[in-house]
Chain A
Amino acid sequence: MKKRELIRKMESIVGRGNVLHSRTALLVYEYDGSLQRGLPDAVAFATSAEQISRLVRLANTAGIPFLPRGSGTNLSGGSVPAKGGIVIELSRMNRILEIDLKNQRAVAEPGVYNLTLQDALAPLGYYYAPDPASQKVATLGGNVGENSGGPLCLKYGVTTNHVLGLEVVLPDGDVVQTGGKAQEYPGYDLKGLMVGSEGTIGIVTKITVRIMRSPETVKTFLAIYDSVEDAGQTVSEIIAEGIIPATLEMMDKLVMQAVEKSVHAGYPLDAEAVLIIELDGLSDGMDRLAQRVIEICKKNRVRAVKVAATEIEREKLWTGRKGAFGAVGRLAPSYMVNDGTVPRTQLPRVLKKVAEIGEKYDLPIGNVFHAGDGNLHPLILFDERDKDQLELVRKASYEILQACVDVGGTISGEHGIGTEKLQAMWLLFGWKDLNAMWKVKRAFDPRNLCNPGKVLPEMEIEESKTAHA
């Protein structure tokens, strides 16, 4: 199919003004929140599952790739058109369709921002647990695609634990429903496979999530440390004591300095690290729990523990934490964010290793991360225009991932594989393991047109069967 004909057909599906195809317009869609790049052939703004189904069928007929896109805040290349094709833009599918308190569910279209849903629920005394830092603009569809986490996931689990049902346009254009408002349905758990599949096995068009009653009490602390290791050790000990706070976040000096410049949240600029510890639940017993947490902090040489006295103080701390990636932009033109995750006991050891890797390559590395989950986010600062430096950054990043895998961890906790970590998948899996994932991909998308070139490294199937163990 000629490009002109393709555009005309796309326009007949979504309307003339809703297709972009000029080079300048497409440039905006060649990137996401990572360093990955790829130019699409065209972008279509869809407003219904039916339109998406027709676009997908069109792409099938033309034999070209297609992929969904929300706000493009994802951090590993998941929404970057690695092999060109049609970007199906979902930001106009932004309606909350239903808030069903009786059944403790909300139903929304994929283009709804995570925070928009939270804002709709809060006055009703409810919330949706997954709270990625990018929630102001990250869409629910994107959250499903990446199986997003967030600070609250320590206690309440990630996106997959809160998605009950999905309406999906399959890679052949069929529109199907998997799961729903009830908790169990017979058959393979396709919904469980869809969440975190990075848009490679279908496009989600309607999402049913669990909503929960807001907790009675929330208590937020800022624990200030003169050493990163002490902060890391505190995290390990809190978890080892069997205490599961609602959040257990860590930020180091470099990141705090950037955050203070941008939001003035009140972080101490002379400290080496802070922990943001939040406890939630019934008020009964909360003081005693807080006391235990503070004791663990003290045992690990905390300089001071401050309690957020007002809701405004608490908001400020979180604004700083959630704005951290953005704020780091003030320190260097580019950064690469790593997402390695380790068993919690390995945290102090791996933090040390990360610092060593930074020194080895002479690259500044900031840390801001979900410490309680063992989910690191080292931010490697550099200048993308300096190609030599970019190469060093890639090497450093790969070494950090290797360090995580070496202690029984994994290469991504919540940002996904995308195109960025394709080769790092080999650190974790053998040929056979990846082959099984390819079976899933083939069952959904036998023609490999749905967001190709993501998640799974390409392999020579028959030859490798015996070659790699």
Chain B
Amino acid sequence: MLDHSVRGKFKEIVGEAGLKEGREIKGFSIDGLVPAVVLFPGTPEEIERIVMLALEEGLSIIPWGGGTQMGLGAPPRHVDLVVCLSRLDRILDQDHENMSFTSEAGIRLSAIQKALRHLGQGFFLPLDPPCAEEVTLGGVVAANASGPSRFRHGTPRDLILGIEVVIPEEIETGNKIRAGGKTAKNVSGYDMSKLYIGSLGTLAIVVEVTCRILPMPEDQATVMAAFPRPEAPWACTRALLESQLTPCSIELYNRETASLLPMRVRPSAEEVAWAAVGLEGFTEGVERHIVQIERLVRSQGAEKIVILRGPHEASLWKNLGRLGLQVRDKGARSIGLKVSVPLSMAQEISKAISNQGLKMNVPCYQLSHAGSGILYAHICLSEGIYGEKEQALSQMVNALREQVEDMGGSLVIEYSPAVFKQRVDVWGEVGGVFPIMERLKREFDPKDILSPGRYVGGI
């Protein structure tokens, strides 16, 4: 609980309406921990003052964007304040002729895309993380979130040109600092943006972001194909990677995942694996891709091949992006895993996950960014099933992690029941670099007030 006078001081900063508590903040819990208050600052300066006051009072802060990634990370050691950035949603600079865009961190990605569509001949921010409707730019940065199009366009680490953050240091003139800028190339000093991207609110609160934007492609389409053998889409992926074709994304998914997609034609009994290849570029190029990819998937036994455009295409990608949410709706105690392995090993891991799912008799919804070696496995679990299989599930995740690490990759638990996080380290070992990470944390947050305990190794 917050001392009455301290609460008053926060109200002085954010105003009466900017502080919420009690029943109003029911949705703001992290792994079951509820903050004393949720603050809604309206400017970066208010965040600076909040952080200064929190330092003075020794209160911990968890920054909050769209809230979609709050399952990520270990349970925090404590939560006094949640600082929600939703009011920091101003667009500050739209320089499409320079292909750059700057806004405050609390803006929703969907709002950015909407603004960019009407700029010049039409632009977009090439980031398509899960739940792209709800996520905020700051949240994407903090979680280093990305989606299918990372295959062509990269991740936040490739697309962010400049950043402003508030650090938990008592500096009389304010603790907001900046790095990078709006030029395409920049080596003036250390590349600090990289440090904040993916740091999950443990070093700083991101308040402003400048990113690279791209012109809308002239044409786009998706080739979707269903296969009778689980190996087939992987063979297609290999062939695509070896070719000179330039698809935008290569997504593979299993029968369970397909069953959740609102497709007009239900999967038939023979179909066990799917591929969706996203294409964008010149009309001639997209056409050529379609012809060649159709030929390729057919040679691997695909019978149902659909070319999606317009709303049908958008609906497929939107639903793939909401897979985790859908699974969690079906099973309140579900577990989400994200695996990253060298490209050639993704198939083996996908198979291992399927086998484990079958063996344990739990539905496992798989989705892979196959061209990037990234796999998501959403294990759907109800309260009862989770309780029954908790131990076996933790053994399964540990065994998978061991296999993944032997391949030179990593496995992260993206969400799970809080109790599961006590059994299995959500991040895994980071190795010999850990002492450096600890020292970075100490340099930036010596009083350990930012998201304490959520990050690797208890940082």
Contact = CB atoms under 8 A, between A and B. Distances in A.
Contacts of A414: 185, 187
A411 B442 CA distance: 30
Interface in A395-425: 408-417, 421, 425
A240 B120 CA distance: 9
Interface stretch (B61-69, B335-343, B387-395): B335-343
A239 B97 contact: yes
A236 to B, nearest CB: 7
Interface in B181-201: 181-192, 194-195, 197-199
A327 to B, nearest CB: 23
Given A344-B99, A409-B181, A413-B187, A282 B288 contact: yes
Interface string A360-393: 0000000000100111000000000000000000
Contact of A412 (B121, B157, B187, B197): B187
Interface string A107-151: 000000000000000000000000000000000000000110100
Contacts of B215: 241-243
Given A190-B437, A373-B184, A439-B440, A345 B343 contact: no
Contacts of B192: 436-437, 440
A178 B194 contact: no
Interface in B160-212: 167, 171-179, 181-192, 194-195, 197-199, 203
A153 interface: yes
B282 A285 contact: yes
Contacts of A181: 342, 408
Given A196-B187, A242-B215, A432-B171, A442 B98 contact: no
A285 B284 contact: yes
Nearest to A102: B344
Contacts of B408: 180-182
A415 B190 contact: no
Contact of A187 (B243, B282, B285, B427): B427
Given A182-B408, A242-B120, A436-B179, A215 B185 contact: no
A288 B189 contact: no
Contacts of B91: none
B185 A343 contact: no
B154 interface: yes
A213 interface: yes
A455 B216 CA distance: 38
A271 interface: no
Interface stretch (B78-86, B260-268, B428-436): B428-436
B187 A146 contact: yes
B117 interface: no
A193 interface: yes
A189 B444 CA distance: 15
Interface in A240-265: 240-244
Interface in B113-156: 120-121, 123, 144, 154-155
B59 interface: no
Interface in B396-418: 407-410, 412
Interface size classification for chain A = 35 or more
A14 interface: no
A190 B95 CA distance: 31
A213 B152 CA distance: 13
Nearest to A146: B187
A183 interface: yes
A180 B97 CA distance: 36
A413 B183 contact: yes
A342 B282 contact: no
Contact of A242 (B100, B121, B373, B412): B121
Contacts of B437: 187-188, 190
A59 B181 CA distance: 36
A394 interface: no
Contacts of B197: 189, 192
A188 B203 CA distance: 10
B90 interface: no
Nearest to A415: B187
Contacts of B282: 284-285, 288-289
Of listed B195, B283, B436, B444, residue having the most chain A CB within 10 A: B436
A193 B194 contact: yes
Nearest to A421: B188
A22 B92 CA distance: 58
16 contacts: A101-B242, A103-B342, A103-B344, A153-B185, A161-B158, A182-B373, A186-B410, A342-B183, A344-B184, A345-B98, A373-B183, A409-B181, A440-B440, A442-B443, A465-B173, A469-B173
Given A466-B173, A468-B173, 7 more contacts: A184-B144, A184-B374, A190-B433, A192-B197, A409-B183, A413-B185, A428-B189
Interface of A: 100-105, 146-147, 149, 153-154, 157-158, 160-161, 170, 174-178, 180-190, 192-193, 195-197, 213-216, 236, 239-244, 281-282, 284-285, 288-289, 341-345, 370, 373-375, 408-417, 421, 425, 428-430, 432-437, 439-444, 446, 455-456, 465-466, 468-469
Interface of B: 95-100, 120-121, 123, 144, 154-155, 157-158, 167, 171-179, 181-192, 194-195, 197-199, 203, 214-216, 241-246, 281-285, 287-288, 338, 340-344, 372-374, 407-410, 412, 427-428, 430-437, 439-440, 442-444, 455-456
